[in-house]
Amino acid sequence: MADRSSVVVAPDSFKGSLSAPDAAAAIAAGVARGWPGATTRVRPMADGGEGTLDAVLRATGSSATRGAIDVEGAGGATVSAGYGIVDRAGVPTAVLEAAQVVAITDPAGMAVPVSARSSFGLGRQVRALLDRGVRHFMIGLGGSSTNDGLASLASADASGLDPRLKACAITIMSDVNNPLTGDRGATAIFGPQKGVARDRVAAIDGTLARYAEIVERAVGRRAAREAGAGAAGGLGHALMLIGGAMRSGAEVVADLVALDEALTGAAWAITGEGRSDAQTLLSKGPAVVASHARAKGVPVSLLSGAVDAFALPELGKRFDGCFALPAGPATLEACVRDAASLLADRAEAMARVYAAAFDRRSGR
Amino acid sequence: MADRSSVVVAPDSFKGSLSAPDAAAAIAAGVARGWPGATTRVRPMADGGEGTLDAVLRATGSSATRGAIDVEGAGGATVSAGYGIVDRAGVPTAVLEAAQVVAITDPAGMAVPVSARSSFGLGRQVRALLDRGVRHFMIGLGGSSTNDGLASLASADASGLDPRLKACAITIMSDVNNPLTGDRGATAIFGPQKGVARDRVAAIDGTLARYAEIVERAVGRRAAREAGAGAAGGLGHALMLIGGAMRSGAEVVADLVALDEALTGAAWAITGEGRSDAQTLLSKGPAVVASHARAKGVPVSLLSGAVDAFALPELGKRFDGCFALPAGPATLEACVRDAASLLADRAEAMARVYAAAFDRRSGR
């Protein structure tokens, strides 16, 4: 796979404007214009949230199949929840995305009060796949509208828990490290953006704590305090209780899209996202691409919609150059509207500089 | 001078925010951060307009002297008009800038109606330098507030023309190709921005035409239709009549700052300006830097405050990557205010990419 003039294009989505595959296509087009001698290896990234399934299916191509199962969405109305089956060393593995069932961008779910929303449909989807013989799951959390936990719960009975789950390997993809409850819990941190009134946080957090106690006792396993239990309004906790293991969503996606294979022998990598700031330094897509690239000795540049000036010194340590979309003074609206062409233009300029240095060095 | 890791930094001024020397310093600082192994050769550029004198003096350093002569500004009030004396192969040569005398940015000049403004002071400055024995002049036009020509002129007598001018070599630095009068003349094209009312253009143009006829007859030379006669409100024409030869301002500055010497053996060049658009493709500073760099086989990138999207395809042919200041959605005011730090940040990112490719290619 060694190719001294190949460029790995592995952006995350540009939220609000471009999906990761679309962003990757725009960047790749710019690279091709700026460095005609290069080949591109396109690996759209994701972090377990919305877009994860698309990124994985796009990268795995013909070795994957896409399906959809009708289940209850967050608000109760039926949604067609997509999933993928990818081949992992001969083992069919289902890639699910909570946002396919309970997306915060789903108007039908958001029309219902947060206390009435449920992630029940995701469980249905898992069961349907169990029925089809799937035993390996990778479930992306993130971008959910739900904050689970039943206020009227008095007791729980785990005897009806699907016995097939015992034979399952479940990977939970999430970048959330929050515990289920408390000051840093799901409700306190993520509740408000889902519609939990500030003055209701304490009460709902208490409900969730009681729910956790009851179900943990029933299942005979504890997880509420673990990092990530608070992901997706408590879905992290629920999946841990049935044996799921947390992994960085972006790391799992890097694995699924064979990022390391693409980086091997590559000349350069470009990643990016809608906005890069201090959050980017955590295990988001671009940070994961950067660490994998560095491990392979491949320089990696960042091309985002915007790069936060305060985070730039730190970002500068992780990336070989941080670039942003605008070609001059511009509004957010214009950047969002013209994202694809701006992205291609900026990538072209970056590639022109890279190619110039590459050719100069070789004395061509 | 061959230095495979030297970077020539040769921006024009960023009008309204940074002088060319300040812009060059910011870019050089960014390059040093982004590519610590590189050396920078700083050559601020100009095109004959405001800032030309500073750029030339900064680049020529200790071999040049700076002076100033008190003369009448455009509005009649005394201005201290700077000039430089540079050594040109043993010949002391005065570098003048019309904007030192009649700048459009001088409030005292602009407070007087355009019809009452005069470039007389520039003539005084030339005479003072003749008195000091100077016979070689390079006079930058551009950025003037004046539109010369006396409405009440009935005849002209050239017998009093300073006889020393015959022994002079006068280079007129300008990027203006307009003739003195007519549809593309000084008054029609540049008058309005100097305060000529639209309904006065024809009358003033007629005055200028009559003035040209009278003085051309007196001098015995014609110049009104020549390209550049309309530069600086007719100063181009006046200087041609006393023997001045037009040259592209940016080309003369490139010559004065020894741009070719700096480019020889350099790895890369960066140029830029406040805003790059279709005008940039004419003989403005960045275009001249690009053509000189290309001639030397040195890749050259553009880093401007803004890059016009419509001109980008053409600019892309001249430059190895076109970059702009903003790190995300930003107002013009913020870009102007933060120009120096944005410039350093962007240059650092560009240098990171260049250095990554340069090092990658060599297998370091």
What secondary structure, in 3-state letters, does chain B show?
CCCCCEEEECCCCECCCECHHHHHHHHHHHHHHHCCCCEEEECCCCCCCCCHHHHHHHHHHHHEEEEEEEEECCCCCEEEEEEEEEEECCEEEEEEECHHHHECCCHHHHCCCHHHCCCHHHHHHHHHHHHCCCCEEEEECCCECCCCCCCCCCCCCHHHCCHHHHHCEEEEECCCCCCCCCCCCHHHHHHHHHCCCHHHHHHHHHHHHHHHHHHHHHHCCCCCCCCCCCHHHHHHHHHHHCCCEEECHHHHHHHHCCHHHHHCCCCEEEECCCEECHHHHCCCHHHHHHHHHHHCCCCEEEEECEECCCCHHHHHHHCCCEEECCCCCECHHHHHHCHHHHHHHHHHHHHHHHHHHHHHHCCC
pLDDT band at residue A294 using 50, 70 and 90 as cut-offs: very high
As given in the structure block, the two tokens for residue B196 are 């000529």
Between chains, do A329 and B307 touch, taking CB under 8 Å as contact? no
The closest alpha carbon to A356, from B319, B212, B82, B130, belongs to B319
Q: Compare CB distances from B328 to A305, A320, A352 and report the shortest one's residue.
A: A305
Could you report the per-residue pLDDT of B201-241, keeping only the tens digit for each? Answer: 999 999 999 999 999 999 999 999 999 999 999 999 999 99
Cross-chain residue pair A352–B301, CB shorter than 8 Å: yes
Q: What is the pLDDT of residue B325?
A: 96
Q: Could you say which of A299, A305, A341 has the minimum Cβ distance to residue B356?
A: A299
Decide if pLDDT at A2 tops 70. no
**C-beta separation of B212 from B158 below 8 A:** no
For residues B137-152, average pLDDT: 88
Measured between CB atoms, does B8 come within 8 Å of chain A? no
**Residues of A with Cβ-Cβ distance to B31 under 8 angstroms:** none
Least confident of A210-214, A360-364, B105-109, B174-178: A360-364
Q: Which amino acid is at A142?
A: G
Query: In terms of CA atoms, which chain B residue is nearest residue A361?
Result: B358
Q: What percent of chain B has pLDDT over 70?
A: 98
- Residue A264 Cα, gap to closest chain B Cα (Å): 14
Which tokens sit at B30?
């960014």
Degrees (nearest 5) of the Cα angle A66, A67, A68? 140
Res A142 pLDDT > 90: no
Tell me if residue A275 falls in helix, strand or coil: strand
Contact B47, B274 (CB under 8 A): no
Q: With an 8 Å Cβ cutoff, is A345 touching chain B? A: yes
Cβ neighbours for B1, distance < 8 A, ≥ 6 positions apart = B261, B264, B265
Whole-angstrom Cα distance, residue A312 to residue A316?
A: 6
Residue ranges in chain A assigned as alpha helix (H): 20-34, 52-60, 99-102, 107-110, 120-131, 186-194, 201-219, 235-241, 249-256, 259-263, 285-295, 312-318, 332-337, 339-361
Of B306, B321, B330, the CB nearest to A353: B321
Across the interface, which of B309, B329, B358 has its CB nearest the CB of A306? Answer: B329
Neighbours of B83 (CB within 10 A): 24
Q: In this complex, do A305 and B320 lie within 8 Å of one another by their Cβ atoms? A: no
Residue A54 Cα, gap to closest chain B Cα (Å): 27
Question: What is the pLDDT at residue B267?
Answer: 95
Q: What is the mean pLDDT of chain B?
A: 93
Residue A335 to residue A350: CA distance in whole angstroms: 18
Q: What pLDDT band is residue B362 in, cutting at 50, 70 and 90? A: low
Is A331 an interface residue toward B (CB < 8 Å)? yes
Given this model, what pLDDT does residue A359 score? 82
**What average pLDDT does the segment A172-186 reach?**
93
B303-325 pLDDT per residue, tens: 999 999 999 999 999 999 999 99
Instruction: Tell me whether residue B222 is exposed, middle or buried, using C-beta atoms within 10 angstroms of its C-beta: 0 to 12, 13 to 18, 19 or more.
Output: middle
Render pLDDT for B258-269 as a digit per residue (tens, 0 to 9). Answer: 999 999 999 999
Per cent of chain B over pLDDT 90 is: 84
User: Is the CB of B357 less than 8 angstroms away from the CB of A362?
Assistant: no
Q: Is A335 on the interface with B (CB under 8 A)?
A: yes
CB contact under 8 A, A357 and B354: yes
User: What residues of chain B lie within 8 A of the CB of A306, using their CB?
Assistant: 327-329
Which of B304, B352, B359, B362 has the highest number of chain A CBs within 10 A, making it the mutation to test binding with A?
Answer: B352
State the pLDDT confidence band at A60, using cuts at 50, 70 and 90: confident
Work out the minimum CA distance from B39 to partner chain A, whole angstroms.
15
Q: Using CB atoms, which residue from B309, B323, B356 is nearest to A320? A: B356
- In this prediction, residues A302-312 reach a mean pLDDT of 95
Touching check for A355 and chain B: CB below 8 Å? yes
Residue of A nearest to B330 (CA): A329
Contact B353 A328 (CB under 8 A): no
What pLDDT is stored for residue B359 in this prediction? 81
Does the predicted TM-score (pTM) go above 0.90?
no
Q: Are B85 and B65 in contact (CB under 8 A)?
A: yes
Categorize the per-residue pLDDT at B364 as very low, low, confident or very high, splitting at 50, 70 and 90: very low
Cβ separation of A349 and B308 shorter than 8 Å?
Answer: no
CA nearest to B31 within chain A: A321
Residues of B in contact with A38 (CB under 8 A): none
Please provide residue A198's backbone torsions phi and psi, each rounded to the nearest 5 degrees.
-55, -40
Residues in A closer than 8 angstroms to B267, CB to CB, are 357, 360
Q: Which of A34, A306, A352 sits opposite B327 (nearest CB)?
A: A306
Contact call for residues A252 and A171 (beta carbons, < 8 A) = yes
| Shortest alpha-carbon distance between residue A103 and chain B (Å) | 27
Is residue B187 within 8 Å of residue B205, measured between CB atoms?
Answer: yes
| pLDDT at residue number A61 | 77
| Amino acid at residue number A277 | D
Nearest to B328 among A307, A321, A352 (CB): A307
pLDDT tens column, A272-290: 999 999 988 887 899 999 9
CB contact under 8 A, A326 and B323: no
- Sorted by sequence, the CB contacts under 8 Å of residue B251 that are 6+ apart come out as B283, B288
Q: How far apart are the first and last CA of chain B?
A: 24
pLDDT higher than 70, residue A362: no
| pLDDT value for A189 | 93
The pLDDT, as a whole number, for residue A329 is 95
Chain B segment 187-226 residues within 8 A of A by beta carbon are none
- For B267, the closest of A309, A360, A362 (CB atoms) is A360
Predicted confidence at residue A364, as pLDDT, reads 47
Residue A316 banded pLDDT, cuts 50, 70, 90? very high
Question: B residues 15-54 near A, CB within 8 Å?
Answer: 34
Name residues 257-316 of chain A within 8 A of B (Cβ): 267-268, 275, 299, 301, 304-309, 312, 316
Q: In terms of CA atoms, which chain A residue is nearest residue B315?
A: A349
At B361 the pLDDT is 64
Q: Rounded to whole angstroms, what are the CA distances from B90 to B63, B86, B132, B302?
A: 11, 9, 16, 35
pLDDT at B61: 77
- From the list A305, A341, A358, which residue is nearest B357 (CB)? A358
Say if the Cβ atoms of B306 and A324 lie within 8 Å.
no
Q: What is the pLDDT, as a whole number, of residue B3?
A: 60
pLDDT recorded at residue B1: 43
Give the CA dihedral B24, B27, B29, B35, nearest 10 degrees.
Answer: -130
